[in-house]
Chains A and B, each alone.
Chain A
Amino acid sequence: MSFWRQALEIARVDLTVEQRVGSTLRITLPFAVVALIVFPLALGLQLGVISAIGVGVFWALGILYGMQVALRQSATDGRERRDLHALLGVDPAARFTGRVISGGVLMVGFLLVLLGAMTVLFDPLLPEGAWPVLLLSTLLVAIGLTELATLAGEVTSGLSNRSVLASLIVAPLALPLIIGASQSVGALERDTSILPWILLLIASDLALAVAGVGLAQPLEEATR
């Protein structure tokens, strides 16, 4: 079977399982929206401040809770499943790619809903032309964060404190994504070019894709 067919099949099954388990929709997303509510309360409901920090809060929570979307339990393979994939001749790189596709779809959906919730709750101050930039950054962050968290999830697979350890690995390495995303809108406010920030996001996504595909084989061996 071809690489892309295997990747798409893995992604299809992942999404089917998530549709039935629903941990992203029923648990992670509501929890992230609750976290959005915590900020205005913690800031003493100062409306001016809340509007100003809205987009920043979205990125912070998007990264922190988004990690949990990619690290969800339903995307974890037990030893028997990994063995089965190996014996069926599933390309480890196709497995990684499939995971990123399914995780990416969920991540985009998650971030878009969170963005909508932030817009309603925070009424953010956005410069002209911000929405296309915000949506593009969201897409690029979704891809990069999914790649990073998928890698971290694989590296910590089978360990008892997997989700915490994987989050510890992902958070610092997600810095280029946070900076690229936040500054892409900031550039509009300063009336400067958004290109460097978008290119930073694209570079990060590409670097992680190369790392993921290149390290797929040793990762598969490491998790058997």
Chain B
Amino acid sequence: MTRVRVLMSLAAVAVGIGLWFALTAPPDALQGEYARLLGIHPPSMWVAFLAFGVTALGSIMWLIKKTDRWDRLASSSVEVGVIFTAIGLFTGMVWGQAVWGTPWDWQDPRLMSTLVMFFVYLGYIALRNAIDDPTVRARRSAILGAIAVVQVPLVYFSVNLFRTLHQTQSIRPDGSTMPDEMLLAMAVNMVAFTILYIALVVARIEVAKVEAENAREEAVAGEAVRPPRLSEVEDV
């Protein structure tokens, strides 16, 4: 738990610094104050992709090694990843509405891939919640994680292919009109959010370890079944 406290403290400091950079940077000439979302949106999306990449790695490693730690890593990373994905999608829609006049860009492969991953990993969490047996849960979610690894790149590729048919937006939120201070704020927040991701995943893994320990200490299943009290049958 000391490790978790240290990481959380580090993350709090890093996010605080990142927030300071984002709030003190000058506004953008075209996007105004909305450019400050550079400090949240790209870092959230980066963490989302990182989280799901780690889940994919954890899933494949569990299928190979079949050790609990890979399952804990994969599942903890998904939970954190889903949160950051939601933040990234929401801030992206706010930003898109302000800058493009529309909250959603159907032709952006990164957006579409992210949205697909969000639903796939919501399904992953729903699947885990539906299974009690830890080994069955680990195996089935690892298989889903591995399937997603195969399909999600195809999702990205297919949307990218689709996009080549249409002209993309001429003004992009991460375009080169950004002042250097704003780009620095984005870079600092990328690091800060990564530290926050690591802290949250480590904390979640510790909780998962405690949950697993509690399950193991229970008595042998059959010992809870007692002989019936036959002499009391008539008294019911």
Contacts and interface: CB of A to CB of B under 8 A. Distances in A.
A169 B142 CA distance: 14
B110 interface: no
Contact of A207 (B63, B116, B123, B151): B151
Given A156-B127, A169-B123, A175 B158 contact: yes
Interface stretch (B31-39, B81-89, B159-167, B203-211): B159-167
A196 interface: yes
Contacts of B136: 222
A171 B119 contact: yes
B159 A175 contact: yes
Contacts, number: 99
A159 interface: yes
Contacts of B119: 168, 171-172
Contact of B158 (A168, A176, A186, A221): A176
B155 interface: yes
Contacts of B147: 151, 155, 173, 208, 211, 215
A188 to B, nearest CB: 13
B126 interface: yes
B184 interface: no
B144 to A, nearest CB: 5
Contacts of A190: 165
Nearest to B63: A218
A200 interface: yes
A222 B140 contact: yes
A97 interface: no
Interface of B, secondary structure class, is helix
A176 B157 CA distance: 8
A203 interface: yes
A204 interface: yes
Interface in B111-127: 112, 115-117, 119-120, 122-123, 126-127
Interface string A166-194: 00110111011001100100100010100
Interface of B: 63, 112, 115-117, 119-120, 122-123, 126-127, 130-131, 136, 139-140, 142-144, 146-148, 150-152, 154-155, 157-159, 161-162, 165
Given A169-B120, A197-B161, 13 more contacts: A148-B151, A156-B127, A161-B130, A168-B126, A175-B116, A175-B158, A176-B158, A186-B165, A200-B157, A208-B147, A208-B150, A208-B151, A223-B140
15 contacts: A151-B143, A151-B147, A155-B143, A155-B147, A165-B130, A169-B127, A173-B120, A173-B148, A173-B155, A175-B155, A176-B155, A196-B161, A200-B161, A221-B139, A222-B143
